[in-house]
Amino acid sequence: MLKEKIAALNLPVFPSTREEAIEMLCREEYGYLPPKPISMTWEDEIIVPRFCAGKAPLHKVTLNCAMPNGKSFSFPIYVAIPADGKAHPAFLHINFRDSVPDLYQPSEELCDNGYAVFTVCYNDITKDDNDFTSGLAGVLFENGERKNDTDCGKIAMWAWGAQRVMDYILTQPGVIHERVTVAGHSRLGKTALLTGATDTRFYCAISNDSGCSGAAITREKQGETVKSICEEFPFWFCKNYYKYKDNEHNMPFDQHWLIGLLAPRYAYVASASNDLWADPASEHLACVAAGELWEKDGFITPDRPPRIGDSFHEGKVGYHLRAGEHFFSREDWLNFMTFLRKKG
Ligand code: GTR
C-alpha cells in the first residue's frame, strides 16, 4: 500500500552523490549556506551555578565568528553539561526562545538522562522576518539586499548558526563528539534537518512537526503548500523556490532527499495528530521514501498510514505520531531518547 502510494507520486530519484542532492536543495529551495568563519573564539560565563540542582551548571557562551568578508558576527548559546566528569551524548536544540529550561525544552529531564544540552535561539542568529539588515543577514548582505536567486534564506542561516554551535561542541570534553543530535520544532524542525543533512558531524537530526519544506513530501501534500509557505514566509527560502508555487510536480527534488541526506546516520520525524497543516501522513510517506536510501533497515513501518500512538524505533529513521497539537512536548523528547538509547 505505501509502496503504491510512493510510486504514484513519481518522486525524483535521489542523485548518485550526496553533493548533488545538497547542491539541488540549496540552489532551488533554501539557498546556499553562508561560508564557514575563518576562526571562532568564545566567552564562557556560568549564569546559573545550581542549575539542575547543581548537577549541570548553566553556562552562557558567546561565540564570536570572524567571517571571510572581514566582518565579525557574535551570538550567545546556552550550555548545560552534566558535571560528573564523564563524556555525554548531546542534544543541540534550535529553539524559538533563549529561556532555559523552556516550554519546548525539558532541560533537567534531558540532563538527568545523561544528555548534555546546548540551546541556540534562532532570533539570536537572524530575526524571523523579511529584514536582511541585522544579525547574520546584515553581515552577509550589503544593504540587506539578496541579489541572487540562490542567496540563502533564514532557514539556511539558522542552520549555519547550529553548525557553529557544533564547532564549539567539538571542543568540549564533557560531550561524546560522535553522538550529537540536532533537534527543532516546526520551522526549526526544517532547520534541524537542513543542519544535519549538510553536516555529517551530526549523529542524528530530529524534525518535530516540521511539515511543508521540512519532513513532509511536497507532492500531493495536504495543509500547507509551497504557495502558502512562500507567500507567508518568503524570507525562509531562496528566491528560486518561489517558482514551485502551484508547481510542485515540476520540483526536481522532494523532501525525502533532505531526510535521506542523513544516511547512513540517523534521522527522526515526529508528527502530531491535530497538526494537519504539517500533514502527518506526508511526513510518514517521506520517511518511507527516504528509508530506501539506507542500505538496510532504513525505515521500518507497518504497511499503512500512521495511527495515533504509533512509534517506529527499529530502523535508522525513527517516527512517531502523538496525540495533540502542533507543539514540542515532553512526550516527543521521551520518544527521541527511547530511539537514541536503542541505537547505543
Ligand atoms: C507555520 C508555518 C509552518 C510551521 C509553523 C511554525 O505558520 O506555516 O511551516 O513551520 O509555522 O514554525 O510554527
Strand boundaries in the chain, DSSP class E:
39-48, 58-66, 72-80, 88-95, 116-121, 175-185, 204-208, 266-272, 311-312, 317-322
Å from CA of 30 to ligand 1 middle: 15
CA distance 124 to 95: 10
CA distance 75 to 4: 47
Which of 186, 210, 213, 271 is catalytic? The answer is 186
User: What dotted CATH number matches 2-341?
Assistant: 3.40.50.1820
Active-site annotation holds for 186: yes
CA distance 78 to 98: 8
Å from CA of 176 to ligand 1 middle: 32
Å from CA of 239 to ligand 1 middle: 19
Q: For 106, how many CA atoms within 13 A lie in the half-sphere containing its CB? A: 14
Query: Grid coordinates representing 293?
Result: 536510501
Q: Which atom of ligand 1 is nearest to the CA of 224?
A: 8
Per-residue DSSP letters for 204-236? Answer: EEEEES--TTTTS--TT--SS-HHHHHHH-GGG
Å from CA of 186 to ligand 1 middle: 6
Q: Identify the pLDDT of residue 140.
A: 98
Report whether the peptide linkage leading into residue 101 is cis, meaning its omega lies within 30 degrees of zero: yes
Task: Decide whether any atom of ligand 1 lies within 6 Å of the 186 Cβ.
Answer: yes
Q: Which atom of ligand 1 is nearest to the CA of 228?
A: 8
Q: Which atom of ligand 1 is nearest to the CA of 210?
A: 10
**Pocket residue to mutate for ligand 1, from 233, 235, 269, 274, most atoms within 8 A of Cβ:** 233
Q: Identify the pLDDT of residue 344.
A: 82
Q: Which atom of ligand 1 is nearest to the CA of 211?
A: 9
Task: Please give the torsion angle defined by the CA atoms of residues 235, 239, 240 and 243, in that order, rounded to the nearest 10 degrees.
Answer: 90
Å from CA of 210 to ligand 1 middle: 7
CA distance 309 to 257: 26
Query: Distance between alpha carbon 96 and the CA centroid of its chain, in Å?
Result: 13
- Ligand 1, atom 10: closest residue by C-alpha: 187
CA distance 303 to 322: 19
Sort strands 266-272 and 204-208 into parallel, antiparallel or unpaired: parallel
Q: For 130, how many CA atoms within 13 A lie in the half-sphere containing its CB? A: 6
Hey, what amino acid is at 7? A
Point out the residues of the chain with pLDDT beneath 70.
Answer: none
Going from N- to C-terminal start, the domains of the chain cover 2-341
Q: Identify the pLDDT of residue 277.
A: 98
Q: Identify the pLDDT of residue 319.
A: 99
Whether the model clears a pTM of 0.85, i.e. scores above it, the answer is: yes
CA distance 314 to 301: 9
Yes or no: say if 243 and 219 are a contact pair by the CB < 8 Å rule.
Answer: no
